[in-house]
A and B are shown apart, each in its own frame.
Chain A
Amino acid sequence: MWEYTDKVKDHFINPRNVGEIENPDGVAEVGSIACGDALKLTFKLDENKRIVDAKFKTFGCASAIASASALTEIIKGMTLEEATKVTNKDIANYLGGLPEEKMHCSVLGQQALEQAIGNYKGAPQKEPGEQIVCECFGITDHEIERAITENHLTTVQEVTNYTKAGGGCGNCHEKIQAIIDRIYSGAIPEAKIEKKPRLSNLQKIRLIEETIEKEIRPSLKHDGGDIDLIDIVGNRVIVATRGTCATCHAAQLTLKGFVEYKLRELVSPELVVEEESP
């Protein structure tokens, strides 16, 4: 049984601001029923761009309901600028804390707020260049990076507690660890890659082969899959999928999200991975 604070229990049993605002100024839907957590947030602004009303609907456990209820209470009366600064920690603190394993409920609240504000401003819902890291729960590298830096997370388990990433099949644990390592090594990936000297074509081919052999193939084989390098044309890396990869509907995600990610990270940021056309 989870140990919830009285405040969590109160906001679960007597949730504030349940519902949907008609003709809202900002609206967001985050999470999904498959993941077990989903939140719909709507808010209304007054003429001074202050949030006069906020309402929510939640599918999820007690702490998800309480987090959403707390979020609406926190942001009511705030200007948009103030609301932009609300973090998941503010939600958790408002509730007197959440169990570690339930911190993802507060992160869901923050994501909904961010998206609803973005929706008001007319911003696109997903940032360009985001890569899915956790396929089970559809969590991107940007979401993981943000949770790590804002909450000073240092282990894969903590990342799972805060974002759910890695809480399903567990195949992405290495990738999450790599993100943690990267953040604490002080180097952002782009900067690291830019420092790399320009490679000759031959060097590039060797490096690609080596990266596939050492960094990529072992992870794929772990799942019964494999890839073969077919050709390299300029910056296009053409591969063929083998084993379970060949029949897996998520293989495209693996090629882009993992193979290409690794090759860009370790060889050259300009590389594009393509599957051999049958």
Chain B
Amino acid sequence: MKTIYLDNNATTQVASEVLDAMVPYFHDLYGNPSSMHSFGGQVAKTIREAREKVAHLIGADPDEIIFTSCGTESDNTAILSALAVNPDKRHIVTSRVEHPAVKALCEHLREKGYALTELAVDSEGRLDMEQYENSLTGDTAVVSLMWANNETGVIFPVEEAARLARDRGIVFHTDAVQAVGKIPINMQNNSISMLSLSGHKLHAPKGVGVLYLRKGTRYSPFLIGGHQEKGRRGGTENTASIIALGKACELAGRNMETENTKVKYLRDKLEAALLKRIPNSRVNGDRVNRLPNTTNISFEFVEGEGILLLMDGFGICASSGSACTSGSLQPSHVLRAMGVPFTMAHGSVRFSLSIYNTEDEIDFVIEKLPSIIERLRSLSPYWKPEPSICATM
């Protein structure tokens, strides 16, 4: 059975060009870039090139790129660094819809005695900028707001938020794990202090990430060890993955247009067809300010896990914000923060596409999903089908 992979916000396929670029660094070019001999030294040179490629994708200076092990490490490093360099400030501002890499850390810090403001979002998943501005105080050490939401794809106006923070001398961090590679980002045009990105969300392997650190931003390292990354992140470089990430960023820059034309077209086609063919369905989140690859659709009166399992039977991979699939007993914190009604939240499915998806795949999903939903609804005590107005449905 063919796999139709529509779960690219969870992780992506390593691009074949990326795989080819990284393979030599496992077995042949295995030297340590810190070594004095040329066998290791040649790896240092390739890492330098990778750093330039990453910097180029986001309009940064190579010196502003710190390689880490993942997005979570970058997020933790950024927030803890901002607190460490501002020991007299005890307030953190974030949102209610952040990824656990930020949310759980901030909640942990609240237990340790920090004051935490978790900004609310409206029913479309948008921030209230006035409320944001009012939350900034003289005691605020750091703001951490995601660039784009992993569940809904909703884009926050982080550049404007960063400007308001800078005007008050507050460090601004953004978790841009879902945004980098999908929408254009240029760090020369904003005042964001720190940005996190993750390799495996843009066709590089798992286990490599980046913390962008704007020049002049005071910094305190998280991993203390060797002099790697100019003493800003100890630990021998994950050479193969760093080189892979460089290649992936090069490809992402090249594919940015495809992402915002072809991928967006496929996403829109999928979304429109499902809404049309499946009654009592709706999109969660702002449909205008949104990543081009993501759609989060709720199908009322059914539970997400059943949808995923029946789709799995056809090789279709997606995610759900339902309680049963989240590992907890409550539906996704993002949908709850948006006030999505329970009848809808449990039946939410996120489809996230990549440049490798084809129109045939999307057509296949459009063909299969209506009967899946209908079948689960026929089991549901809440579903009372209304006579269809449209005879062709």
Q: Which of B298-327 contact A (CB under 8 A)?
A: 301-306, 309-310, 313, 322-325, 327
A33 to B328 alpha-carbon distance, docked (Å): 16
Q: Which residues of A contact B379 (CB under 8 A)?
A: 15, 18, 57-59, 65
- Given known pairs A12-B306, A59-B303, the reply for A33 and B342 (CB within 8 Å) is yes
Residues on the B chain within 8 Å of A13, using CB: 310, 313
B371 close to chain A: CB less than 8 A: no
Contact B382 A33 (CB under 8 A): yes
Choose, from A36-44, A84-92, A233-241, the stretch at the interface: A36-44
B308 CB to nearest chain A CB (Å): 9
Instruction: Assess the A12–B309 pair: CB atoms within 8 A.
Output: yes
Contact of A34 among B302, B304, B305, B342 (CB under 8 A): B342
What separation, in Å, do the CA atoms of A29 and B382 have in the docked complex?
11
- Distance in Å from the Cβ of B169 to the closest Cβ of chain A? 30
Cα distance A65–B381 in the bound complex, in angstroms: 11
In the complex the two chains form, is B303's CB within 8 Å of A61's CB? Answer: yes
CB distance from A96 to the nearest CB of B (A): 17
Please measure, in the bound complex, the distance between the C-alpha atom of A36 and the C-alpha atom of B343, giving whole angstroms: 9
B378 interface hit (Cβ, 8 Å)? yes
Q: Is B253 an interface residue, CB under 8 A from the partner?
A: no
B381, A168: Cβ atoms closer than 8 Å: no
Interfacial chain B residues near A160, Cβ < 8 Å: 329
Q: Is B201 an interface residue (CB 8 A)?
A: no
The distance in angstroms between the C-alpha atoms of A13 and B310, with both chains bound, is 8
Q: Looking at A18, A35, A36, which has the most chain B CB atoms within 10 Å of its CB?
A: A36
> Is A36's CB under 8 angstroms from B303's CB?
yes
Contact of B329 among A18, A33, A168 (CB under 8 A): A168
Cα distance, A12 to B306, chains bound together (Å): 8
Contacts A12-B306, A167-B328: A61 and B322 contacting too (C-beta < 8 A)?
yes
Q: Given contacts A33-B346, A36-B346, A160-B329, is CB(A61)–CB(B306) below 8 Å?
A: yes
Q: Which residues of A contact B186 (CB under 8 A)?
A: none
A24 close to B (CB within 8 Å): no
Q: Which of A29, A40, A57 has the most CB of B within 10 A?
A: A57
Q: Which residues of B contact A36 (CB under 8 A)?
A: 303, 322-324, 329-331, 342, 346
- Given that A12-B309, A36-B324 are known contacts, is A18 also in contact with B378, CB under 8 Å in the complex? yes
Residues of B within 8 A of A39 (CB): 381
* Residue numbers in A under 8 Å from B305 (CB-CB): 2, 61-62
CB-nearest residue of chain B to A57: B381
Given A12-B306, A33-B346, A59 contacting B382 (CB threshold 8 A)? yes
B277 to chain A, nearest CB (A): 21
Contact with A along B16-59 (1 / 0, CB 8 A): 00000000000000000000000000000000000000000000
Contact call A62/B329, Cβ cutoff below 8 A: no
Closest chain A residue to B320, Cβ basis: A61
Residues of A within 8 A of B322 (CB): 36, 61
For residues 362 through 393 of chain B, which have their beta carbon under 8 Å from a beta carbon of chain A? 378-382
Are the C-beta atoms of A61 and B380 separated by less than 8 Å? no
Q: Measured between C-beta atoms, what is the minimum distance from A26 to chain B in Å?
A: 16
B381 touches A58 (CB 8 A): yes
- Interface flags for A4-39 (1: CB within 8 Å of B; 0: not) read 000000001101001000000000010001111011
Asked if A58 meets B309 with Cβ closer than 8 Å, knowing A33-B343, A164-B329, the reply is no
CB distance from B6 to the nearest CB of A (A): 16
Instruction: State in angstroms the CA–CA spacing of A58 and B305 once bound together.
Output: 13
The CA of A168 and the CA of B333, in the complex, are separated in Å by 11
* Complex: A85 Cα to B343 Cα, angstroms: 33
Bound-complex Cα distance A35 to B309 (A): 20
Known: A62-B305, A167-B329. A40 touches B342 (CB 8 A): no
Give 19 A-B pairs besides A36-B346, A57-B380, A59-B303 with Cβ atoms closer than 8 angstroms: A12-B309, A13-B310, A18-B379, A33-B343, A34-B342, A36-B322, A36-B342, A58-B381, A59-B381, A60-B303, A61-B305, A61-B306, A61-B322, A61-B324, A62-B306, A65-B306, A101-B327, A164-B329, A168-B329
Subset of 14 A-B contacts with CB under 8 Å: A33-B342, A33-B382, A57-B379, A57-B381, A59-B301, A59-B302, A59-B346, A59-B382, A60-B324, A61-B303, A61-B305, A61-B324, A136-B330, A168-B330
